[in-house]
Amino acid sequence: MTAPRVLPASPIHPLDLGGRTALVTGAAGGIGRACVLRLAATGAKVRAVDRDAEGLEALAERARGLGGTVEPHVLDLTDLDAAEHAAAGTDVLVNNAGLQLVRPIEEFPPDVFHTVLTVMLEAPFRLIRGALPHMYGQGWGRIVNVSSVHGLRASAYKSAYVAAKHGLEGLSKTTALEGAPYGVTSNCVNPAYVRTPLVEQQIADQARAHGIPEERVLSEVLLQDSAVKRLIEPEEVAEAVAYLCGPQASFVTGTSLVLDGGWTAH
């Protein structure tokens, strides 16, 4: 019997994106902020996109203190033409911006549904569209879409968010298929509930929708389906994003990296 082939251990090199330009949306707080700081630490020049000018300036100052380069870019992603233009010339694109409203479908405001789909699905499409010509031209690019466990599973009272995340999954896979011949990968990162203002702000809405006190929302709603009973930290998500930008992930494309504490294992 032939002995199994033993491959030599590969050296572990720190992620180096020196000379690359990255763009991160929803950059002023939460997951976006953590991604900006993580990518800036790799040597990338990061375009930090958000509506929050003050938050972006504070982020850029923080990055400078750590030796990174962050360019604040104040932008409302409902301006789709501006979003596409902002992505031109980027090597790494992280579609992260999101918003949430918890309401039953029959009470969900149609204008909010439209805005959620615009920011969380149509804007990523336009950003990808703006980034691909440069990526294709150089034969390298990394697109990471911050999806959610709600891109794989539905929850009641989140029709717009769930619809947007499911759509983002499909967009990411299509981008992966089209980008593969050009050295461009496209993947989703799928966290469960992350310790961010977006999650904290929905606790009152969740309590109202489920008819329970706010203090019971964390254990009975947010963490009910997770085997690991805690919120994820933004830095954990940023580390997954960074991995997908590195050389070890060059064969990873069209997939979803799930960080859900066992939610989808049920």
pLDDT in 10s for each residue of the chain, 266 residues: 455 565 565 566 789 999 999 999 999 999 999 999 999 999 999 999 999 999 999 999 999 999 999 999 999 999 999 999 999 999 999 999 999 999 999 999 999 999 999 999 999 999 999 999 999 999 999 999 999 999 999 999 999 999 999 999 999 999 999 999 999 999 999 999 998 887 887 888 888 888 999 889 888 888 999 999 989 999 999 999 999 999 999 999 999 999 999 999 98
pLDDT at 77: 98
Question: At 250, which amino acid appears?
Answer: S
Q: Which residues are catalytic?
A: 161
DSSP-derived secondary structure letter, 264: G
**Cα separation of 28 and 97, whole Å?**
10
pLDDT at 68: 95
Q: Which two tokens stand for residue 49?
A: 């996109």
pLDDT at 204: 82
pLDDT at 266: 84
Rounded to 5 degrees, φ, ψ at 146 are -80, 95
Taking residue 51's Cβ as centre, other Cβ atoms within 10 Å add up to 14
**Cα separation of 146 and 215, whole Å?**
28
Q: Which two tokens stand for residue 19?
A: 């000379």
Q: Which two tokens stand for residue 186?
A: 């496209």
CATH topology of domain 21-196+229-255: Rossmann fold (3.40.50)
pLDDT at 195: 87
108: nearest Cα among 158, 167, 164, 166: 158
Report the predicted TM-score, pTM, of the whole model to 2 decimal places.
0.91
Alpha helix ranges (H) inside 9-118: 30-40, 53-65, 80-86, 110-117
39: nearest Cα among 144, 131, 136: 144
Q: Are 37 and 63 in contact (CB under 8 A)?
A: yes
Domains of the chain, by residue range, sit at: 21-196+229-255
pLDDT at 6: 58
Q: Which two tokens stand for residue 38?
A: 């993580």
Residues 6+ apart with CB under 8 A from 207: 213, 214, 216, 217
**Cα separation of 58 and 56, whole Å?**
5
pLDDT at 14: 83
Whole-number CA gyration radius for the chain: 19
Percent of the chain that is helix, strand, coil (3-state, to 5): 50, 15, 35
pLDDT at 202: 80
